[in-house]
Structure 1
């Protein structure tokens, strides 16, 4: 195959001008001329910038043969002094794809136009204007594509945002439903105060974790057939539903034994015997209290539980420490009962260790508890347990479930019967 055109170029301007005219005379469309010129300029730029010449070779479209018939114009760009031959990787991404031939040559083959070759010889300005128009048309098309993609992305983002909002709303609905379910569970686990003439009662419960408002700290209170009020406070080992189940087992067993008439001093030991057969890992501290609303007589039995605090109407405080070991402990049971008396205005505070051990020093917690109970003892009973807990737990270093339960003896109103 004979090369009919060969020119040497030392500047990009000269190379581009030669390509413009060569492609126009061969009938190459303005778009293809633009792509060819841009591609060749990229390949030759480094050589020309370095001062090394490049050769432009072309096989016109009029030559015969199978190879010639396959293309309107074959263009070779030769880099004779290039330090390295053009690589296939270096030719990727060109506006007009090229072929790498053996030696320092890059080849483009352009197809013949449908309407034949051009007949007029336009000036350089006309060639540039035609190619510029083609470039602008291409830029407009790219701009339209970009605008379309931007619109689609905006719609996608709007859809994602709407989905995110829906998920947030759904999540909030689930949280509210979860909260209602847990509050219902709490109400089922924590009975309301007993209403009996001569006594006021209130309770405050605070979970260790806000998102898991059940734990092993439970209480129970009810009236025995003889009119005595029975109170149980339980702290089962652990947190969450497992400890809740253990604490429920204890409170149910204690209620059953108490209503069956078992002596108060025997109930902790009997509870351990009943539960040991099916809950081998159960460990729980227990405090049992009996109060006669008429006389104010107070009896306590204990099983490893923190002592109750008695706050007299004049502000004097004392700890009611009854000895004993809890359910699941070695040698469980109450060693002896502790007896005292509630006079009018006296306040009894029962609690779990989460109240006084928030600073890991039970003695400090007991001092803070006494001071808090003294300050709030004359408030309405409904707010006393929460006020005590807020003051005692102002600094929490060790988070734990907490129960604070208060009972105050009052003079019964005229005509009020013992319940």
Structure 2
């Protein structure tokens, strides 16, 4: 593994050096653009103060990984490494480190180019910048198209659900009961299709508060992000019936859009409240967001006033994962730093709404009973777990409510 170092005295020289080394290691143009911007932003204060910045990079052929280190001379202002366009893997008082999947350097090594832009690589700088701009524009166009599609889908779904509910509400109780099965099928249609994520097992159970209003405010969404992690959203909107369904749909669609746009997990609850507030000030919903890496079992949780997830280890130990945050429509909505955990093969993660634990009006008792019910299903096939837990929890119902239970398990490897 060969390590190379340059010293840069200006932001322009640093940007050119980063751009060339990123090109030579075949980084994606969009990633290259983020790395160039991040290096310039991190070292900007030091360079403006006349302090030279060191740039070191090394390629590990065994890992297929490029390590880029930005160093500032000691004794001055350290790197500015807040919310960089490309998140750093490590930040200290005098350096910022990025580790990126890459290819071996091409024969035209950036170490042969002068830091001030002179040399044979200089004419390519404008072309590289143009290529990065095209990649960023293409990504922005794709996100805009997806956002437009999701908005159209949301409008169409809301229109259809509300029109059907108004029509049914004008009929008598007998007709409502006769069409209960149809509405339950509609509720199923509002839910996302199953996803396939190698190494991860998921199953869900939903039960409305009553057959006369089978649509409710308990919804979920799951999808695989471009980086391979699985995103899960659990929403419990205030109220029952189609009005709460509309609120929950608004929340799940907004969360999906923000997640696909690459927003950080801890910012999504607060941003969703900002998006929905101008359109419907009556929306109140608790939200639980989970991200799981099927390959490693790493779990991130962000919460907005929602009941905590239950983690049951394969050895039988259990605990609730308490993440702080306030829900949509609540005062000061948003999430704090995500709670992180790692799931081992055989561990069981249970995500749910309060209808599962508060059927007897005592949430503390409900949480204890949930642990007991989950213990019984620890070794059961995943598709049986949520329904069996709900059946065990609802042996006595003093306070009927919409109920959603989801089970997640990392498969044995």
2:303 maps to 302
Report how many residues are paired: 242
Helix, strand or coil at the partner of 1:242? helix
> Is the 8 Å Cα contact of residues 236 and 285 (structure 1) preserved in structure 2?
yes
> Is the 8 Å Cα contact of residues 202 and 381 (structure 1) preserved in structure 2?
yes
Q: Deviations over 1:258-284 (max 9, x none)?
A: 001000000000000000001111100
Helix, strand or coil at the partner of 1:298? strand
1:377 maps to 378
Helix, strand or coil at the partner of 1:238? coil
Helix, strand or coil at the partner of 1:208? coil
Helix, strand or coil at the partner of 2:238? strand
Quote how far apart the aligned CAs of 1:391 are.
Answer: 0.9
1:342 maps to 343
1:287 maps to 288
> Is the 8 Å Cα contact of residues 377 and 389 (structure 2) preserved in structure 1?
yes
2:56 maps to none
Quote how far apart the aligned CAs of 1:174 are.
Answer: 6.3
> Is the 8 Å Cα contact of residues 324 and 336 (structure 1) preserved in structure 2?
no
1:403 maps to 404
2:260 maps to 259
1:271 maps to 272
Q: Distance in 2 between matches of 1:338 and 1:346?
A: 17
Larger displacement relative to structure 2 (210-219 or 290-299): 210-219
Quote how far apart the aligned CAs of 1:314 are.
Answer: 1.3
2:241 maps to 240
Q: Distance in 1 between matches of 2:336 and 2:389?
A: 30
Alignment root-mean-square deviation, CA = 1.8
> Is the 8 Å Cα contact of residues 180 and 211 (structure 2) preserved in structure 1?
no
Helix, strand or coil at the partner of 2:356? helix
2:60 maps to none
Q: Distance in 2 between matches of 1:397 and 1:246?
A: 26
TM-score by length of 1: 0.56
TM-score by length of 2: 0.57
> Is the 8 Å Cα contact of residues 176 and 212 (structure 2) preserved in structure 1?
no
2:192 maps to 191
Q: Distance in 1 between matches of 2:330 and 2:307?
A: 15
Q: Distance in 2 between matches of 1:274 and 1:394?
A: 40
Q: Distance in 2 between matches of 1:244 and 1:372?
A: 28
1:93 maps to none
* Structure 1: stretches of 5+ with no match in the other structure: 1-170, 413-419
Q: Distance in 1 between matches of 2:184 and 2:208?
A: 12
Quote how far apart the aligned CAs of 1:176 are.
Answer: 8.8
Q: Distance in 1 between matches of 2:175 and 2:284?
A: 34
2:361 maps to 360
* Structure 2: stretches of 5+ with no match in the other structure: 1-171
Q: Which structure has the bigger radius of gyration?
A: 1
Quote how far apart the aligned CAs of 1:195 are.
Answer: 1.6
1:204 maps to 205
Q: Distance in 1 between matches of 2:245 and 2:412?
A: 36
Helix, strand or coil at the partner of 1:356? coil
Larger displacement relative to structure 2 (334-343 or 192-201): 192-201
Q: Deviations over 1:40-76 (max 9, x none)?
A: xxxxxxxxxxxxxxxxxxxxxxxxxxxxxxxxxxxxx
| TM superposition outliers: structure 1 runs of 4+ over 4 Å | 173-177
Q: Distance in 2 between matches of 1:285 and 1:179?
A: 27
Structure 2 residue 337 is matched with structure 1 residue 331: no
Quote how far apart the aligned CAs of 1:351 are.
Answer: 0.3
Helix, strand or coil at the partner of 1:354? coil
1:394 maps to 395
